[in-house]
Structure 1
Amino acid sequence: MLHAMRAALAPLVLILGLALIAACGDDEEAEPRVRVVTTTNIVADWAQNVAGDDVEVFSLLPVGADPHSYQPGAQDVARISDADVVFAVGLGLEESWLVDLVRNAATDPGAIVELGELIDPIEFQDAHAGESALLEAIAGIVHEVEDGHIPPEQGLIQIGAVLLAMEEGDDPADVCFYDCHDHADEGVDDGHDHDDEGDDDGHDHDHEGDDDGHDHEGEFVEVLIDILTHAQAGEITPAEAIEAIDELVHEMEEDGHEGDDHGHDHGLYDPHFWFDPLRVKVAVDAIAARLAELDPDRGDDYRDAAASYKAELDELHGWTAQQVEAVPQERRLLLTSHESLGYFAALYGFDVVGVILSTTTEATPSAADLAELAHEIEELGVPAVFGETTVSERLAVTLADETGVALVRLYSGSLGAEGSGAESYIGMVRANVTSIVDALR
């Protein structure tokens, strides 16, 4: 009897033992293989598509938060501290808060992966572009003089030609390579006459710019003209004028670098590369590579998932290119809440004709800035003003009301809420493209 009971219980004990082992195995699998934190929910969506459900992916920014001005809390410090890797956009997007967050969490800076550094970023095309080009052109002429390639007198003539050409709307680089050399022999008097003309015109522009409180280019031009005027009057020698201009250029360059440290502006490069699905593919590969490094046993799985997701991004790009064909070229004009659509415009053949908040959502445009944008809308026939879900639309609404054009809301720094159709990256892009095409077709 006892022997029979043992024979009957043996299979049961074996089954229960196997079940217990399996249960323990489940507990172990419940522990995330890799802990991933991302700065934005857009990046989190990319990471989750690559990582799968076995990897915990957490976005610091909730739906609707602005990555430019996010204020992290204590829970964010804990998340960063526990993370194996932190995927950030980079290129200055999170600069105002991420550095302090990493420092407070005592996180190894090597755990931070700034994806924007890997995607061949484009430069901002904003109001500072002209200032940078002017500085570069003037600095180039000064170096030519200092290196002995041209005399100081010739350098002053070329600088005068650059200023005159800028007043006429030409690119300073084009002036240096063509006008300066082609017309250098037209005479010092002609160059000085232009300087005098520029003096009055330049001062007028400077005073207009002072009302805005940020016309650095106007201040630079004003001082340049003063130096040229003193040289023309014989109050300083051409060599002394070149030396003074060299010092001025260095001061402007230093001011520019100091401005970058304030955290209110991005740097030279545009961080909004998620509006270009082809560049996102590069970021996806970088995510897969880091996950494979952290979890080599599943490296092939991460790479396969990345390849599959990149195929979806290729399909998204093809769909977008097809959709925008419905918009006539003369109506492919984008005026946005802040400068976020540069990648989209470059990839799909649009022109960004104006931005309300320049490169960052923390800026405050002046009345003169808004008046200029309203003038551009009317002069160019801009069909719509594009607001953003993560940015206050007060100014965009005002601009749209004053000009009588449509106000269209786009998803920019964040995915949409559940049920919006924009709760994934691909859904967000499709929603934005549909809105843009419907507004401009």
Structure 2
Amino acid sequence: MTDAIASQNSPTRWCGWIGTVLIGLSLVSCTPSPPETGNEKPRVVSTSTAIADWTEIVGGDEIDHTGILEPGADPHIYEPVPQDSIAFEEADLILYNGYNLEPGLIKLMNAAGVKARQLAVGEVIEPLDMDYDGQQVPDPHVWGNVSNAIVMVEAIRDVLIELSPEDEALFRENTAAFVSTLAELHGWIETQIATIPPENRRLVTTHDAFQYFTRAYGLQVTGTLIGMSTEEQPSAQTVTQLVEQIKAAKVPAIFAETTINPKLIQTVAEEAGVQLSPRELYSDSLGAPGSEGDSYVKMMVSNTRAIVEALGGEYTPFPTETGDRP
């Protein structure tokens, strides 16, 4: 009995037991700890595709960004889905156009009780007030003037800095580079439009989305099938009136838009005896990935090319198209 007790208390037995404990502690210490939540990237949600493009350029890899509207989606008539409500509820910042461009999403955002900070990016611009049915309505298509886009990009930069001040230097660097490109784009568009014969500087499109573009770059909107919102439906009288306006103005071509069924504007072109431009205009949305309009800059370049070529101007590619710059 004494020998058994002595055996249990022998130095060898104690060393084995201590070794087992130490190995267990070592394994525990090597088990990965749960990830810290303090280093999560700010969650940013944007509505329109143009705002999404700008946000990703300014924010880079330092934000967790979700864009709600897919390329080609019409913000005027978009109907939110449950996933949109979840995105709003989980966001730290929501960036939307405003001026009622995306009425369904704005209604959802206001009803969801979200605690995220909200910025109506388009509303940092003083709008053009258009007369519709005797009422003054702000035109939401503010990005048509690239100078406005610069102001909106800088507004996105500023709110991201407030959200994540430790990334201020990166946000400012990204914005400065992008604004330089936008400033060059603005001047390039002016030069391109100036090549169109003055009598041809008239724009006819499916809906009234190009007032900012025409006023900034020296064109005139001769007529549209519908007003600012694609929710409208043109009457037979409206179609007849537009055909007569086109004939009187003697425009060489009119334009369809990528987010709207072109069938009716094709009929207008046939009845007016004018060409329908082979290149559609990007109005309320960027194009699908890989298309000519899959970024804001490319969209504006594509629209300018379509207008210049169809209205008799002389098109010269934007430097980024020729590979002069990265």
Q: TM-score scaled to structure 1, two decimals?
A: 0.60
Q: Which residue of 1 aligns with 2:273?
A: 404
Q: Do the aligned residues in 2 keep the contact of 1:77 with 1:104 (CA within 8 Å)? A: no
Q: Do the aligned residues in 2 keep the contact of 1:384 with 1:405 (CA within 8 Å)? A: yes
Is 1:329–2:198 an aligned residue pair?
yes
Q: Do the aligned residues in 1 keep the contact of 2:100 with 2:106 (CA within 8 Å)? A: no
Specify which structure has the higher proportion of helix: 1
Is 1:356–2:231 an aligned residue pair?
no
1:80-229 → structure 2 map (5 Å cutoff): 80-95=88-103, 97-108=104-115, 111-124=117-130, 128=133, 131=134
Which ranges in structure 2 are unaligned for 5 or more consecutive residues? 1-29, 313-326
Q: Distance in 1 between matches of 2:39 and 2:294?
A: 26
1:10-409 → structure 2 map (5 Å cutoff): 32-95=40-103, 97-108=104-115, 111-124=117-130, 128=133, 131=134, 268-408=137-277, 409=280
Deviation of 1:421 (Å): 2.2
Q: Distance in 1 between matches of 2:161 and 2:98?
A: 21
User: Aligned letter for 2:92?
Assistant: D
Deviation of 1:55 (Å): 1.2
Specify whether residues 318 and 29 from structure 1 end up closer, same or farther in structure 2 by C-alpha distance, changes over 3 A only.
Answer: farther
Q: Distance in 2 between matches of 1:412 and 1:66?
A: 9
Deviation of 1:323 (Å): 1.2
Q: Distance in 1 between matches of 2:189 and 2:224?
A: 23
Instruction: State which of 284, 299, 302 in structure 2 corresponds to 1:428.
Output: 299
Specify whether residues 32 and 371 from structure 1 end up closer, same or farther in structure 2 by C-alpha distance, changes over 3 A only.
Answer: farther
Q: Distance in 1 between matches of 2:49 and 2:255?
A: 22
1:41-79, Cα deviation, whole Å (9 max, x unpaired):
111001111101221221111111000000110111111
Q: Do the aligned residues in 2 keep the contact of 1:324 with 1:437 (CA within 8 Å)? A: yes
Deviation of 1:94 (Å): 1.4
1:77-110, Cα deviation, whole Å (9 max, x unpaired):
1111111111111111112x123311443213x6
Specify whether residues 360 and 102 from structure 1 end up closer, same or farther in structure 2 by C-alpha distance, changes over 3 A only.
Answer: same
Q: Distance in 2 between matches of 1:394 and 1:292?
A: 46
Q: Distance in 1 between matches of 2:163 and 2:238?
A: 49
Q: Do the aligned residues in 2 keep the contact of 1:43 with 1:88 (CA within 8 Å)? A: yes
Deviation of 1:368 (Å): 1.0
- Partner SS state of residue 356, structure 1: strand
- Partner SS state of residue 208, structure 2: coil
- Partner SS state of residue 75, structure 1: helix
Q: Give the paired residue count.
A: 281
Q: TM-score scaled to structure 2, two decimals?
A: 0.81
User: Aligned letter for 1:33?
Assistant: K
1:283-303, Cα deviation, whole Å (9 max, x unpaired):
111101111001011122212
Specify whether residues 321 and 107 from structure 1 end up closer, same or farther in structure 2 by C-alpha distance, changes over 3 A only.
Answer: same
1:213-251, Cα deviation, whole Å (9 max, x unpaired):
xxxxxxxxxxxxxxxxxxxxxxxxxxxxxxxxxxxxxxx
Amino-acid identity (%): 37
Deviation of 1:127 (Å): 5.3
User: Aligned letter for 2:174?
Assistant: A
Q: Which residue of 2 aligns with 1:135?
A: none
Deviation of 1:372 (Å): 0.7
Q: Distance in 1 between matches of 2:266 and 2:191?
A: 30
- Partner SS state of residue 320, structure 1: helix
Specify whether residues 357 and 123 from structure 1 end up closer, same or farther in structure 2 by C-alpha distance, changes over 3 A only.
Answer: same
Q: Which residue of 2 aligns with 1:437?
A: 308
Is 1:414–2:285 an aligned residue pair?
yes
- Partner SS state of residue 355, structure 1: strand
Computed over aligned residues only, the root mean square deviation of the Cα atoms, in angstroms, reads 2.2
Q: Do the aligned residues in 2 keep the contact of 1:32 with 1:54 (CA within 8 Å)? A: no
Specify which structure has the higher proportion of strand: 2
- Partner SS state of residue 52, structure 1: helix
Mean CA deviation greater in 337-346 or 381-390 = 381-390
Deviation of 1:24 (Å): 8.3
Specify whether residues 279 and 366 from structure 1 end up closer, same or farther in structure 2 by C-alpha distance, changes over 3 A only.
Answer: same
Which ranges in structure 1 are unaligned for 5 or more consecutive residues? 1-19, 132-255, 257-266
User: Aligned letter for 1:401?
Assistant: E
Q: Distance in 1 between matches of 2:84 and 2:197?
A: 46
